[in-house]
Amino acid sequence: MNKYESVIIVNPNLDEAGVKALEEKFTGLINENGKVETVDNRGKKKLAYEIKKFTEGTYIVYDFEAKPESIAELERVYRITDDIIKFIVIKK
């Protein structure tokens, strides 16, 4: 298993319960084929440039271990989740 870091930027109009639900959804998804080490909700921040007509977003950072095959599935789910406006997964 490899170590990864993933940053997602969530729609800033989503309420606290919605952000928490997304956080738990992806924690569960990562734990199916790996192990989440930390989840860091960094709150709302101003974006450097406009993304999908948003000027700010809620940042969530995941540090985790996972099998390389599971990253494609994680990114696929990121793409189809409407409340995620940007994401990145980096191998440490």
The confidence score (pLDDT) of residue 33 equals 86
Q: Is 81 helix (H, G, I), strand (E, B) or coil?
A: coil
Tokens 């996972």 label which residue?
66
Q: Across the 92 residues of the chain, what is the mean pLDDT of every consecutive 10-residue run?
A: 94 91 92 92 93 93 92 93 94 92
Model pTM? 0.89
Surface-to-core class of residue 40, CB atoms within 10 Å of its CB (0-12 exposed, 13-18 middle, 19+ buried): exposed
Tokens 């994680």 label which residue?
74
Contact 41, 24 (CB under 8 A): no
The confidence score (pLDDT) of residue 75 equals 94
Structural domains of the chain sorted by starting position, each given as residue range(s) with its CATH number in brackets: 2-91 (3.30.70.60)
The confidence score (pLDDT) of residue 55 equals 94
Question: How many residues are present in the chain?
Answer: 92
